[in-house]
């Protein structure tokens, strides 16, 4: 078969597709990854054949910054809000609609070239990142099955829907109408690497898949594999937070100081430019500017992070206790799942003492480590990508 994987752009939405794409490729299928030129380097680093299609969303930097600003200035949302969207306020729905329209703009910027490429290449199946709406359009235009690929608990959101109810945004409908095809919300199947105990919303036609960590190319930093003399904690604040200056790094600087003050080693996984903003660091702190998390966390005793899907699942796969310092509604939800599964703590930043106390509790209470080991076992019990690829191929063969 020919299988087209589509992404709307950004590392957290490219990386989760890689294990299933490679599973199809090693099973003998012809695979293409397609996304905006801005992310060509990241797509090339996956080792998969790829096509550059479209461009960046047709929105001004001011609009983009307004969306990011709204994301990181929300008051805390209920940790289970994705399962109870009917209870959201008008202001909360307005925020979700602004994000949904941004994602639709990203789809509009690439859909014409994506359809043109797909018409030439003629895929038998389209697998699309859950926020890559252009992929769903392409499948409908070509009349082939579509598989929605989630990247974690956050990606279960249906941001293409208008408030409140099952009707899509007008801009989403327009993506399909420009090609004269029916507007589609559902896919033929949904692949979800989220372990069941972390999932709030169960997608329709679910294909559960084991989460296989992939956070980009790289190697294990020198010295990490040697036996450590004291606890080691990783601190990271993710790609999205790094792009939105309004999110700030100060809560993570507080966490770094708290880790050092308790006689622990600290690893910072962040771009050099972000680390430089932190100022002078204690001697027990080491910055890792380019090391993928999946090559770092197996050698850590804890992690402090922003609440991203990929970060949380990578830590879970490594059985590492987690402290989440969320600054957005999406991160509130991910932090809530970390708390619900017992593998960590979530605290909104208010004072340095709050963060320092959370760091101390995370590393001193063995229950977090025990639950992290349990969650890793749950992840490892799920079907591997090769099994999922085989099952999807069989479904297509059987009609």
Whether 201 contacts 385, CB under 8 Å: no
Of 73-87, 97-111, 160-174, the range with the lowest mean pLDDT is 73-87
Measure CA 73 to chain center. Answer: 20
The residue segments making up the domain with residue 372 are 232-380
Closest CA to 258 of 151, 129, 382, 355: 355
Mean pLDDT of 13-24: 96
Same domain flag for 350 and 391:
no
The sign one gets for the Cα dihedral 311, 316, 317, 320 is positive
Same domain flag for 202 and 237:
no
Mean pLDDT of 13-17: 93
Three-state SS for 205?
Answer: coil
Distance between CA atoms of residues 268 and 49, nearest Å: 32
Distance between CA atoms of residues 320 and 314, nearest Å: 9
Does residue 220 fall inside a structural domain?
no
| 323 phi-psi bin (left φ>0, alpha ψ -120 to 50, beta other) | beta
Same domain flag for 98 and 57:
yes
pLDDT tens track for 338-376:
999 999 999 987 677 888 899 999 999 999 999 999 999
pLDDT tens track for 121-141:
999 999 999 999 999 999 999
Same domain flag for 293 and 362:
yes
Does residue 227 fall inside a structural domain?
no
Same domain flag for 342 and 386:
no
Does residue 217 fall inside a structural domain?
no
pLDDT at 57: 62
pLDDT at 24: 98
The count of domains in the chain is 2
pLDDT at 245: 46
Inform me whether the pLDDT recorded for 276 exceeds 90: no
Distance between CA atoms of residues 362 and 370, nearest Å: 12
Does residue 216 fall inside a structural domain?
no
pLDDT tens track for 204-261:
889 999 999 999 999 999 989 988 889 999 999 876 554 444 446 778 888 999 999 9
Does residue 222 fall inside a structural domain?
no
- pTM for the structure as a whole: 0.92
pLDDT tens track for 22-72:
999 999 999 999 999 988 999 999 999 999 999 766 554 555 555 555 555
Inform me whether the pLDDT recorded for 190 exceeds 70: yes
pLDDT at 268: 95
Q: Which residue has the higher pLDDT, 40 or 77?
A: 40
Of 64-73, 90-99, 275-284, 385-394, the range with the lowest mean pLDDT is 64-73
CATH number of the domain where residue 346 is located: 3.40.50.2000
């Amino acid at each position: 078969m020919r299988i087209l994987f589509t992404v709307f752009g950004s590392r957290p939405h490219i990386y989760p597709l890689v294990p299933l794409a490679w599973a199809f490729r090693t099973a003998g299928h012809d695979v293409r990854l397609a996304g905006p030129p801005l992310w060509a380097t990241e797509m090339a680093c996956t080792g998969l054949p790829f096509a550059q299609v479209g461009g960046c969303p047709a929105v001004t930097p001011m609009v983009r910054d307004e969306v990011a600003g709204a994301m990181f200035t929300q008051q805390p949302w209920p940790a289970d809000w994705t399962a109870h969207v009917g209870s959201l306020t008008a202001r909360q729905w307005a925020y979700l609609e602004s994000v949904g329209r941004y994602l639709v703009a990203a789809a509009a910027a690439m859909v014409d070239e994506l359809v043109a490429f797909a018409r030439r290449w003629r895929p038998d199946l389209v697998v699309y990142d859950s926020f890559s709406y252009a992929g769903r359009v392409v499948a409908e235009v070509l009349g082939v099955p579509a598989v929605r690929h989630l990247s974690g608990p956050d990606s279960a959101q249906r941001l293409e829907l208008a408030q409140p109810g099952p009707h899509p945004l007008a801009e989403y409908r327009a993506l399909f109408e420009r090609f004269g095809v029916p507007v589609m919300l559902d896919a033929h199947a949904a692949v979800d690497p989220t372990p069941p105990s972390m999932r709030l919303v169960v997608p329709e036609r679910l294909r559960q898949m084991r989460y296989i960590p992939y956070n980009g190319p790289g190697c294990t930093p020198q010295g990490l594999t040697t036996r450590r003399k004291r606890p080691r904690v990783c601190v990271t604040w993710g790609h999205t937070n790094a792009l939105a200056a309004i999110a700030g790094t100060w809560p993570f600087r507080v966490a770094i100081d708290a880790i050092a003050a308790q006689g622990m080693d600290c690893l910072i996984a962040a771009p050099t430019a972000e680390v430089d903003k932190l100022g002078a660091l204690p001697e027990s702190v080491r910055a890792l500017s380019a090391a993928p998390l999946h090559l770092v966390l197996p050698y850590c005793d804890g992690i402090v992070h922003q609440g991203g899907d990929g970060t949380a699942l990578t830590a879970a796969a490594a059985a590492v206790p987690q402290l989440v310092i969320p600054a957005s509604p999406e991160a509130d939800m991910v932090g809530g799942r970390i708390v619900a599964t017992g593998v960590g703590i979530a605290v909104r930043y208010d004072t340095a003492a709050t963060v320092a106390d959370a760091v101390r509790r995370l590393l001193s209470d063995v229950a977090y480590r025990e639950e992290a080991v349990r969650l890793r076992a749950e992840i490892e019990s799920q079907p591997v990508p090769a099994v999922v690829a085989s099952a999807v191929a069989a479904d297509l063969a059987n009609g």
